[in-house]
Structure 1
């Protein structure tokens, strides 16, 4: 399983790039296709991938749906995306799902917040009541908005032992809003936080893959997602057969 904020294929290697390379976030330049090919190679080594900041087909991506492109290049038969933010008519952003397993249901939900444009993409694998449920989200920068977003997600996942919540949370695991999420669901805090941001000198663990208490994992690690400002987070997930059986 892999969670990756791909920054729409843009390159950020230092803080100054946010200013000096800001054009790359709105224009179809800067070897984005090469970055996507590198990300596709990494994604293809996993069975289920959650994406944040995947452009669904605006000017900056050359009108390429990046989730679809990564699905094709990475060998995924199933994909879905949730466009949730437009920037000045020239850039757009989406959560995305890539899967080698067939989901029985994919639903997207808008998340609450002071500024609209955040969402959670929910995929269910298997017909059992305890089926594997994967939620992909990109949360707000503000603590108050994050708290309301996590409360919404908690309602969706509150009693699922085989739930996975992954994405860019924009906060560390020890924040009060995260503690509230763990109280309201069967999701468990990770045994060890893995720093993912900034990618060139990772100091903060703000990208997470959280698992319900019916799941176990191995080998959590951070990996480069081409030249994104976030490292991708990878782990090996042990899933009971009944949770993905159709």
Structure 2
């Protein structure tokens, strides 16, 4: 599996770029297509991919649905996206999921928070509570909003023994609000942290792929997501056959 905050294909290679290249977050300029092609090449080596900050088709992306573009470029048969924010059609943001396996159901939920515009996308593989559920989310910067969001996600995943929650959490895995997941679901803290932010000098582990205690994760590693300010996070997961049975 792979989780990547792709920053809508924009380029950030140092902190000063947030100011000097701010125009690229509102205009269809820069090497966004080149960045998306590189992300597609990376994504193609995985079975399930979660994207955050994928533009759903606004001015800054040249009205390109970036999740769809990456899915088709990388050869994924199935893809879904959840638009969460659209600022006057100038800049949009979405969660995306790409899969080589056919989900039996996809659900999308807005997340609570002090400021609207966050969501969680759930893809169900297999049947019933024993099926595999993969959730993609992009959480808020503030710990108060994150606490509400993690409590909401915990309710969605509580009954599922085989579940994965991936995305940009904007926090390390041992902050107090993360205990809502560990105490109310089968999800467990990662065995070790992989720094992913900022991409040019990774110091903070704020992107995560959390799995339940009924799944076996191995080989967690950070990989460049083209020119994004986050590194992508990859993880191999051993999933029981019954969790994928249609």
What TM-score, normalized by structure 1, do the two folds share? Answer: 0.99
Is the 1:82–1:96 contact (alpha carbons within 8 Å) kept by the matching residues of 2?
Answer: yes
Work out whether 1:20 is the aligned partner of 2:20.
yes
**In the alignment, what sits opposite 1:91?**
91
Is the 2:129–2:161 contact (alpha carbons within 8 Å) kept by the matching residues of 1?
Answer: no
Question: Structure 1 20/88 Cα, relative in aligned 2: closer, same or farther at 3 Å?
Answer: farther
* Cα distance, 1:102 vs structure 2: 0.1
Is the 2:10–2:32 contact (alpha carbons within 8 Å) kept by the matching residues of 1?
Answer: yes
Structure 2 distance, partners of 1:182, 1:217, is 16
Structure 1 distance, partners of 2:76, 2:129, is 26
**In the alignment, what sits opposite 1:202?**
202
* Cα distance, 1:161 vs structure 2: 1.4
Residue deviations 1:36-83 (CA, integer Å, cap 9, x gap):
000000000000000000000000000000000001001100000000
Structure 2 distance, partners of 1:138, 1:101, is 23
Structure 1 distance, partners of 2:144, 2:236, is 32
**In the alignment, what sits opposite 1:226?**
226
Aligned length: 246
**In the alignment, what sits opposite 2:10?**
10
Gaps of 5+ in 2: none
Residue deviations 1:201-225 (CA, integer Å, cap 9, x gap):
0000000000011101111000000
Structure 2 distance, partners of 1:4, 1:141, is 17
Is the 1:128–1:242 contact (alpha carbons within 8 Å) kept by the matching residues of 2?
Answer: no
**In the alignment, what sits opposite 1:134?**
134
Gaps of 5+ in 1: none
**In the alignment, what sits opposite 2:156?**
156
* Cα distance, 1:180 vs structure 2: 2.1
Work out whether 1:50 is the aligned partner of 2:50.
yes
**In the alignment, what sits opposite 1:69?**
69
* Cα distance, 1:127 vs structure 2: 1.5
**In the alignment, what sits opposite 1:176?**
176
- Displaced runs of 4+ in structure 1, greater than 3 A? none
**In the alignment, what sits opposite 1:143?**
143
Structure 1 distance, partners of 2:87, 2:230, is 20
- Provide the secondary structure at the position in 2 that maps to 1:221: strand
Structure 1 distance, partners of 2:89, 2:42, is 30
- Provide the secondary structure at the position in 2 that maps to 1:188: coil
* Cα distance, 1:88 vs structure 2: 4.2
What TM-score, normalized by structure 2, do the two folds share? Answer: 0.99
Task: Let me know the Cα RMSD of the aligned residues.
Answer: 0.7
Structure 2 distance, partners of 1:206, 1:121, is 19
- Provide the secondary structure at the position in 2 that maps to 1:23: helix
